[in-house]
Structures are given as C-alpha cells and as structure tokens.
Amino acid sequence: MEPSLLVFFMIVVGIPVLGGIGMACFQRWLQHKEKMSGLIANQTAEKAAQYASHVERLEARLRVVEQIVTDGGAQTAAQIEALRTPQLRAGKAGQPASGDPVA
C-alpha cells in the first residue's frame, strides 16, 4: 500500500470516525453535568425553604420576647403563663395542667 493512500485513508475515514466518537462522549458528559446541576439546584432550593421556615419560627419567637420585654411588668407574668399553658397541655397528653380545675 502506498503511503499517500494510507494518509488519505486516515484523513478521510479516521479523523471523522474519531471526531464522531469524541463528540458522542462529550455530549454524554454534558448531559451528565446538566443532570447533576439540576439535582444540586433542587437540593439547594429545598435547603433554602427549610432555612426560611426556621428563620420564620425564630422571628415569631423573637417578636414574643420583644413584646414581653417592652411591655409593663404587671402583664409580663400573665403572658409568660399564657405561653407556658399550651406547652404543659401538649406535654401531658390529656392530663390537666397545674392550676386547672379537674372536672
């Protein structure tokens, strides 16, 4: 076989075949990267929603504390007891809270 024919064959057949295989591999890699970035975006959005709800709960608690601190001393004890009462009822599961009359 003549060397110029071999070079011609490599140029006409070899380079396009290798280019096609390379492009297929590159496209598969791009699809994988797109899928991974989509999964990461979903996880990030979920974590952001969790953080937002956590911050919202903390802000609500802080509002209660600010109200207690800035309010007059006579109402402070009543407000603290009002905040404790639902916790005691929930924690005792059906038992009356201390100070509640038994029916």
- List the chain domain ranges: 1-32, 44-88
Q: Looking at residue 32, what is its pLDDT?
A: 97
Residue 1 carries which side chain, given as an amino acid letter? M
Output the pLDDT for position 67: 82
Spans in the chain with pLDDT lower than 70:
1, 72-74, 85-103
Q: Under a CB-based contact definition with an 8 Å cutoff, are residues 68 and 76 in contact?
A: yes
pLDDT of residue 103: 39
Tokens coding 57: 């709960």
pLDDT of residue 95: 54
Are 75 and 66 in contact by the 8 Å Cβ rule? The answer is no
Q: How many residues can be counted in the chain?
A: 103
pTM of this prediction? 0.47
Answer for the pair 79, 71: CB distance below 8 angstroms, yes or no: yes
